A and B are shown apart, each in its own frame.
Chain A
């Protein structure tokens, strides 16, 4: 790789809840323009990894660097502003706000109008509002016709499940993030929608220019999108490499299927 620092780097990160070691001495690097998948059985620590990077939890040990600068100890909204956008495994949209407002809300990161200029509606504040509005429309347009037109002014709770997942991705991209963390984007989708998500993640990189770290259970999706796959089990990295390397790795098969599966293979 080049001499530039990786976009996201985890150095020997550990996370304990009481005596439970959820993440142990995890090293991870994500380079610019890469799509890295994190796989692992339930309870492997995948979502905890996302919570550590976004500042929901503070790691017990180790360091997390974004563009070479440490994120450890920063509050979540500062980390988000630095350029970490994420979606949630269990959707957490602002359900009673409109579709467009959902995407406009994260633009807090790159607007500055204060209370007084908002009350007085100064020209600068109105210009910012127009820019946010255009940004939101642009991010929503990324999803084709699905989140366009009359849907902008619909409350988010009125969207179908698949469209809510798309809206979460749109909301995260409105942060203009350096790295996008997608937590199971294909969870609960039907086969056609899953296929579409696979294409969408690719498109996020090629057209959107995002670097992506993604948690996914669906191996078709993982195979379709990943440059590199990282397998976790009980908070320990057990394999890393291309999809074929990881999928055929004995320890990965063992983690998913149990010890006897590897011996009878």
Chain B
């Protein structure tokens, strides 16, 4: 038998367990010093109840600044996505169950409320009865979906739940037994929410109502994920077999996660239905599901505050890009370009070079175009707001552009692809013409077709954000297998 070496675990000697995480601590400290680090640090040092209170305080003052229509689009629906995201986060973020039928529970909540409080069947129950019923119905259906798929994980669970979501839409659309769901027309004239004799009528009242619901749901989930149930959900997500061998009843917790997610979605649906005064099958289709997933993934799966941030980013940017107000979309477009440049181009001298070159290039091309043709720069600026003057003398806007913007669009994509492959000064040199081309394409093509542009830009924004932070805005990076 060979000599066994002595144990080298003296306090001053290098420890066996010193690892990459510890070794990288210097880097983390360094990173925490910047402006972002200070903000994150301040966020982390604030006790959680104060964080929630600060958010609610800001949210409470929102109706003072914005019009009723904007409050509905930006305020109310952001909170709707926050609520839906919180529910989905329980199922996907904490328990790791890929539930693609989630949006059906939102629909079930809305439809339950609509059936029990509208002219369709002549039933007008008050909200203090119908909202709990909507929650219970959604939760029970969540339990049934969970029971039928309790042995499934991963892709298999995703397929079964996706089917459930589709089945719901088809059911309310086509099956419509005895006129129960109103078929493709949906249910109109839903009663306003009326709690103990007090009826909500204005957008502002609905906004405060959903804000209150959000506070309750958020606080409840915050406590729950910091209890043994939250830990068990996470253990289930990490390794279901190991969790069951550590005394955790895996199936029961899976069902609990489904029930919780479904209940929260049902509650949200029961608030949105009356707020919209009508429900239709199209309100609960896959596009909503994708948006909710985007909220959770962008915010950071497994982070409650992340869901709030994710919902704000997604709903506000999506609404800003709405076809009705092209000048807001323009602000967002140029704003994001400049913010991205400031964040990504280093050092400062290089950033200044790029900005100056782009500006100079624009004026030069504009002059050149004006000299060469009398109609090259006389096109109308599409509702420019007070940027109109700057755009008219900088961007080339021909009176009859023909196919030119289309070619420009294709060239722009090619140039962006080239940009991602070249390095150093080449990139800086290419950046200015690319930026100018982007402005040209925007003013001549994209702003003319807002509904398509909205989706293109929204997609581009998500791709860019996920590339910058794959774990989501407030999520923590996870490992699969090490």
Binding site for B on A (CB under 8 A): 54, 56, 75-77, 80-81, 86, 88, 92-97, 101, 104-109, 111, 113, 115, 118-121, 125, 128-129, 132, 144-146, 151, 154-155, 157-160, 162-163, 171-172, 175, 191-193, 195-196, 220
Residues of A within 8 A of B238 (CB): 93-97
When each residue 318-344 of chain B gets 1 if its CB lies under 8 Å from chain A and 0 otherwise, what string results?
000000000000000000000000000
Binding site for A on B (CB under 8 A): 1, 4-9, 11, 15-22, 220, 223-224, 227-232, 234-235, 237-239, 241-250, 256, 476, 478-479, 481-482
Residues of B within 8 A of A95 (CB): 238, 479, 481-482
Once the chains are docked, how many angstroms separate the CA of A169 from the CA of B16?
18
Residues of B within 8 A of A107 (CB): 228
- By the criterion CB–CB under 8 Å, are B239 and A118 in contact? no
- By the criterion CB–CB under 8 Å, are B247 and A81 in contact? yes
Residues of A within 8 A of B237 (CB): 96
* Max chain A C-beta neighbours (<10 A), residue from B5, B17, B229: B17
Once the chains are docked, how many angstroms separate the CA of A111 from the CA of B230?
14
- By the criterion CB–CB under 8 Å, are A115 and B5 in contact? no
- A243 nearest CB across to chain B (Å): 13
- By the criterion CB–CB under 8 Å, are B242 and A118 in contact? no
- A231 nearest CB across to chain B (Å): 20
Q: Across the two chains, which residue of chain B brings its CB closest to A168?
A: B242
Residues of B within 8 A of A196 (CB): 7, 9
18 CB-based A-B contacts, threshold 8 Å:
A80-B246, A92-B242, A95-B481, A96-B237, A96-B479, A105-B228, A108-B232, A118-B224, A118-B227, A125-B227, A146-B9, A146-B16, A146-B17, A159-B21, A160-B19, A163-B19, A192-B7, A196-B9
- By the criterion CB–CB under 8 Å, are B227 and A171 in contact? no
Q: Across the two chains, which residue of chain B brings its CB closest to A198?
A: B4
Once the chains are docked, how many angstroms separate the CA of A195 from the CA of B230?
38
- By the criterion CB–CB under 8 Å, are B247 and A155 in contact? no
- By the criterion CB–CB under 8 Å, are A132 and B228 in contact? yes
Residues of A within 8 A of B20 (CB): 158
Residues of B within 8 A of A75 (CB): 244, 249
Q: Across the two chains, which residue of chain A brings its CB closest to B479?
A: A157
Q: Across the two chains, which residue of chain B brings its CB closest to A115?
A: B229
Once the chains are docked, how many angstroms separate the CA of A104 from the CA of B247?
12
- By the criterion CB–CB under 8 Å, are B478 and A96 in contact? yes
A-B residue pairs, 8 tightest by C-beta: A158-B21, A118-B227, A109-B247, A94-B238, A106-B246, A80-B247, A92-B242, A163-B17
Residues of A within 8 A of B224 (CB): 115, 118-119
- By the criterion CB–CB under 8 Å, are A162 and B17 in contact? yes
**A76 with B244: in contact, given A96-B479, A159-B19 (CB under 8 Å)?**
yes
**A106 with B247: in contact, given A92-B239, A118-B224, A155-B21 (CB under 8 Å)?**
yes
Residues of A within 8 A of B482 (CB): 95, 157
Residues of A within 8 A of B239 (CB): 92-94
- By the criterion CB–CB under 8 Å, are B241 and A92 in contact? yes
Once the chains are docked, how many angstroms separate the CA of A218 from the CA of B232?
35
Given A77-B247, A95-B238, A155-B476: 6 more A-B contacts, CB < 8 Å: A56-B245, A77-B249, A108-B247, A113-B227, A118-B223, A191-B4
Residues of B within 8 A of A191 (CB): 4-5
Residues of A within 8 A of B1 (CB): 220
**A119 with B223: in contact, given A94-B242, A108-B246 (CB under 8 Å)?**
yes
- By the criterion CB–CB under 8 Å, are A195 and B246 in contact? no
- By the criterion CB–CB under 8 Å, are B244 and A80 in contact? yes
* Max chain A C-beta neighbours (<10 A), residue from B19, B246, B478: B246
Residues of A within 8 A of B248 (CB): 77, 105-106, 108
Q: Across the two chains, which residue of chain B brings its CB closest to A195?
A: B4
Once the chains are docked, how many angstroms separate the CA of A111 from the CA of B232?
12
- By the criterion CB–CB under 8 Å, are A193 and B16 in contact? yes
Once the chains are docked, how many angstroms separate the CA of A256 from the CA of B244?
34
Q: Which of the residues B16, B230, B247 comes within 8 Å of A162, measured between beta carbons?
A: B16
- By the criterion CB–CB under 8 Å, are B234 and A97 in contact? yes
- By the criterion CB–CB under 8 Å, are B16 and A97 in contact? no
Once the chains are docked, how many angstroms separate the CA of A96 from the CA of B242?
14
Once the chains are docked, how many angstroms separate the CA of A146 from the CA of B22?
13
- By the criterion CB–CB under 8 Å, are B244 and A105 in contact? no
Q: Which of the residues A119, A144, A158, A171 comes within 8 Å of B246, measured between beta carbons?
A: A171
Residues of B within 8 A of A157 (CB): 21, 479, 482
Q: Which of the residues B17, B230, B244, B256 comes within 8 Å of A159, measured between beta carbons?
A: B17
- By the criterion CB–CB under 8 Å, are A111 and B228 in contact? yes
- By the criterion CB–CB under 8 Å, are A115 and B19 in contact? no
Q: Across the two chains, which residue of chain B brings its CB closest to A117?
A: B227
Q: Which of the residues B18, B245, B479 comes within 8 Å of A76, measured between beta carbons?
A: B245
Residues of B within 8 A of A175 (CB): 246-247
Q: Across the two chains, which residue of chain B brings its CB closest to A128?
A: B228
Q: Across the two chains, which residue of chain B brings its CB closest to A181?
A: B245
Once the chains are docked, how many angstroms separate the CA of A107 from the CA of B18?
28
- B347 nearest CB across to chain A (Å): 33
- By the criterion CB–CB under 8 Å, are B235 and A94 in contact? yes
- B253 nearest CB across to chain A (Å): 9
Once the chains are docked, how many angstroms separate the CA of A54 from the CA of B243?
12
Q: Which of the residues A88, A96, A158, A220 comes within 8 Å of B234, measured between beta carbons?
A: A96
Residues of A within 8 A of B6 (CB): 192
Q: Across the two chains, which residue of chain A brings its CB closest to B480?
A: A95
Q: Across the two chains, which residue of chain B brings its CB closest to A80?
A: B247
- B369 nearest CB across to chain A (Å): 56
- B151 nearest CB across to chain A (Å): 13
- By the criterion CB–CB under 8 Å, are B16 and A54 in contact? no
